[in-house]
Amino acid sequence: MGAHVRFVVPQGIDDLARPSGGNAYDRRIRDGLRARGWDVHDLVATERLCHDLGLLPDGALVLVDGLVASTAGPILLPEADRLRIVVLVHMPLGGVEVPEDDEGRVLACATAVVTTSAWTRQRLLDRYGLPPERVAVARPGADLLEEAPGTPGGDRLLCVGAVVEHKGQDLLVDALARIPDLPWTCTFVGSLDREPSFVDRLRRRAADACLADRIRVAGPLAGDALTGMYRASDLLVLPSRLEAYGMVVTEALAAGLPVVGTTVGGVPEALGRTASGLPGRLVPPDDPAALAEVLGAWLRDAGLRARLRTAARERRRTLDDWDRTVESVADVLSGVLAPAVGAGA
């Protein structure tokens, strides 16, 4: 058995009824490290976390999910001098969900930090002044899917993500309300229990715009059901107001599906570029008029659809797999352990 690492994860990491990109990423890292021979032991973030960390031997390697770490300063800071703490940051929370100073102190005490996008890495460097050599990037991988065949009219739109305000599904409804004369249907896939009031407002907005019969709110899907949804669709739309990377972008591209997204966070990074150009389109956030314009062009212009599908299929062939992601994380963890190994520990 290889080196030992304790992985501090949020509660519900394996609950497929509440899918999230962060949980999916954590599971792939955990399982991938185990496949490489690492001894990975989950520590679920509960009220026992302080006790559980206190039982670890000096020098123990601890990988901490950033959703936990950013709010766990009182637990992590006293242990930082004796444990090798690596923080895995999906989304910077400082100034949004926690005070910046709290998040900054946790990241400063970490031996190393792993981010899931270059955008997040740069944001942490700019905000907290972390030494660049201590902050690495391990972008999410993608499993190649059978290519989506697409329909002649390109009218099957898909939006994947928890139905919450920062994902911007209300902006998509507003955009669709501006093109009611065009043929389209739109399916929203994602958890409905995180912001129920927002879900209610979204449904009312669709009904008020007389779009309820063209918009389907499917709830969370995973596995084959989600894969089938990508393959049955023509275009992924990600109208997010905030996004550190956007794993659904590469999931869609893995099926050769073009993407319309916003110019926030790591979305442009996830979308990428090919010799044929962008495999989709990017619009400003919080701009339903711009989104409507792009969607209208997609639906009206068969040539545009063909060009974006060609670029998406080219991008599909260049996506990194999850082995590359796991390797990047493993390299960071091995580097943190290297001083101890070199000292004969």
> Does one domain contain both 236 and 307?
yes
> Does one domain contain both 111 and 15?
yes
The pLDDT assigned to 54 comes to: 94
Quick check: is 194 in a domain? yes
pTM of the predicted structure, to 2 decimals: 0.92
270-296 pLDDT tens trace: 999 999 999 999 999 999 999 999 999
- The domain of 89 spans 4-141+321-342
> Does one domain contain both 17 and 95?
yes
Q: Which residue has the tokens 């409804």?
A: 173
The pLDDT assigned to 339 comes to: 65
* Helix/strand/coil for 37: coil
In the chain, which residues have pLDDT < 70? 1-2, 17, 339-345
Strand 215-219 versus strand 280-283 pairing type = unpaired
What residues have CB less than 8 Å from 274, skipping those under 6 apart?
Answer: 311, 314, 315, 318
> Does one domain contain both 223 and 121?
no
> Does one domain contain both 118 and 181?
no
The pLDDT assigned to 97 comes to: 79
What's 220's domain CATH number? 3.40.50.2000
The pLDDT assigned to 340 comes to: 56
Taking the C-alpha atoms of residue 102 and residue 96, their distance in angstroms, rounded to an integer, is 12
Taking the C-alpha atoms of residue 102 and residue 113, their distance in angstroms, rounded to an integer, is 16
Quick check: is 308 in a domain? yes
- Residue 185 tokens read as 């249907």
190-226 pLDDT tens trace: 999 999 999 999 999 999 999 999 999 999 998 899 9
* Helix/strand/coil for 297: helix
The pLDDT assigned to 338 comes to: 87
Quickly list DSSP for 144-181. --PPP---TT--EEEEES-SSGGGTHHHHHHHHHT-TT
* Helix/strand/coil for 191: coil
Running DSSP on this structure, what letter comes out for residue 274? B
Give Cα 287 distance to the centre of its chain.
22
Quick check: is 148 in a domain? no
> Does one domain contain both 178 and 195?
yes
CA angle 233, 238, 244 (to 5 degrees): 135
Taking the C-alpha atoms of residue 87 and residue 82, their distance in angstroms, rounded to an integer, is 15
23-56 pLDDT tens trace: 899 999 999 999 999 999 999 988 899 999 999 9
Quick check: is 149 in a domain? no
> Does one domain contain both 325 and 297?
no
The domain total for the chain is: 2
The pLDDT assigned to 27 comes to: 95
> Does one domain contain both 217 and 252?
yes
